[in-house]
Amino acid sequence: MSATGEQAATFGEWTPSRRWLKTTEIVQALLMGTLFAFALLMLAESPGPVLLPALAILFASVLVHEGGHAAGARLGGADVARIDLVFVQVLVADRVRWRLKRCGALTMATLDPDRPVRSQMLPLVWGGPLGNGCAAVLCSAVAWFYTSELLVAAALINAALAVANLVPTHRKLASDGLQLLRLYRGVDERQPAYLYLRATGLARRGRALDADLLPRLAAAGEPWSAIAAWWELQLCASREDWAGALARVPELESHLATLSPGSMDDFTDLAIAAMRFVRGMANEPMGPPPDRKRMREMEWWSPGINARIEALETWRATGDAARARALLAESGVLAMRSHDDHHIALESRFRDAILKLLPPA
């Protein structure tokens, strides 16, 4: 499955009826079930265990699928941002970070704001099914000359993933087939999902946002209004306009209150962290932090953020400048683990703002 942002499920205005989607889900399940059953039958005819080779082939096929999406993204001019491979999560930008986590299968990319969306999305989405299709053909060709139940099973499993992903379905995210249908029906780059992707693409390249981009995003309703409010607050903070940022806190809080619990936890945690930081810089009560589990998750996406906010909190609460400096130094080291130079630069700017509050060492 491919995506170009956490709100990838919203791509395209056109969404089939629930009955239509239910039917395609049944078709998808039948196709995958049939091909997987034949693959298991082939493995049963080979000597040795069945389950371990089946799992290994399935993981390799998922790797081919997501690798195809990544290759398609690069071919179309987009930047690969994240790849989930069942139990391995990889962040990709200026450098690569990875961790072990149960995470499904997904490829995310940041689009180039100077290129048409459709020309970048089509190769990205087609890449996964085509990767599996090519793997299925290759395994079949080799098995034709060198009889191997393993190769036939690999061909069947890759064919299952290719065909099933092209069936237009929509569970948590739109399938490759549904995204392709939407793209071929036409792309309206005024849709909020594409506005958001343009904003991230511009920010990723260190460029200013279009003057009308955030107002248009804010007018699109939730969750886009919440994202626009957070972005406005971050822009004020990056300019060290703490009064302006503080004035935007109530608006952001009201937007966060409308989000469904669990729907956008990572964004909500970052927004809460941003509001706590702004309050601290404006010499206001910072409020309670998220629970430790959420803080650890936030540290993965934004390394250095927790130590930086703790440094500010320590200075405001105790006046311990030495401890605050130590935490800022720790934050600087942690921030360098980020996969994104834009994040590293922003964290450095915020740490410098805190250092201005401290007395000379």
Mind giving me the DSSP string for 130-158? HHHHHHHHHHHHHHHHS--HHHHHHHHHH
Q: Is 9 exposed, middle or buried (0-12, 13-18, 19+ CB in 10 A)?
A: middle
The answer to whether the CB of 102 falls within 8 A of the CB of 85 is no
Say if residue 166 is in the same domain as residue 198.
no
Q: Which of 185, 220, 237 is the last residue of a domain?
A: 185
Say if residue 17 is in the same domain as residue 39.
yes
- pLDDT tens across the length of the chain (361 residues): 655 433 333 344 567 778 888 888 888 888 888 888 888 888 787 777 777 888 899 899 999 999 999 999 999 999 998 999 888 888 887 677 888 887 788 999 989 999 999 999 999 999 999 999 999 999 999 998 887 888 998 999 999 999 999 999 887 788 999 999 889 988 778 888 888 989 988 988 888 889 999 999 999 988 999 999 999 999 999 999 999 999 999 999 999 999 988 778 889 999 999 999 999 999 999 998 888 888 888 999 899 999 999 999 999 999 999 999 999 999 999 999 888 888 999 999 999 999 999 998 7
Whether residue 40 lies inside any domain: the answer is yes
Say if residue 133 is in the same domain as residue 208.
no
Whether residue 90 lies inside any domain: the answer is yes
Give the start-end residues of each E strand in the chain. Answer: 2-3, 79-92, 96-110
Residues 6+ apart with CB under 8 A from 82: 89, 90, 91, 92, 106, 107, 108
Whether residue 313 lies inside any domain: the answer is yes
The answer to whether the CB of 173 falls within 8 A of the CB of 202 is no
Residue 217 confidence (pLDDT): 93
Q: Which domain holds residue 300?
A: 192-355
Whether residue 104 lies inside any domain: the answer is yes
Say if residue 176 is in the same domain as residue 28.
yes
Say if residue 154 is in the same domain as residue 22.
yes
Say if residue 326 is in the same domain as residue 289.
yes
Q: Which of 185, 200, 235 is the last residue of a domain?
A: 185
In what order do the strands lie in the sheet containing 79-92? 2-3, 96-110, 79-92
Whether residue 361 lies inside any domain: the answer is no
Say if residue 181 is in the same domain as residue 258.
no
Whether residue 360 lies inside any domain: the answer is no
Say if residue 95 is in the same domain as residue 200.
no
Residue 3 confidence (pLDDT): 52
Helices vs. strands in the chain: H and E counts, helices first: 14, 3
The pTM score is: 0.84
Angle CA(271)–CA(192)–CA(17) in degrees, nearest 5?
A: 115
Task: Please provide the distance, in angstroms rounded to a whole number, between the alpha carbons at the two ends of the chain.
Answer: 52
Say if residue 68 is in the same domain as residue 21.
yes
Q: Which of 155, 185, 215 is the last residue of a domain?
A: 185
Say if residue 162 is in the same domain as residue 74.
yes
Residue 282 confidence (pLDDT): 96
The answer to whether the CB of 40 falls within 8 A of the CB of 54 is yes
Q: Is 129 exposed, middle or buried (0-12, 13-18, 19+ CB in 10 A)?
A: buried
Say if residue 216 is in the same domain as residue 172.
no
Whether residue 213 lies inside any domain: the answer is yes
Say if residue 160 is in the same domain as residue 224.
no
Q: What is the total count of domains within the chain? A: 2
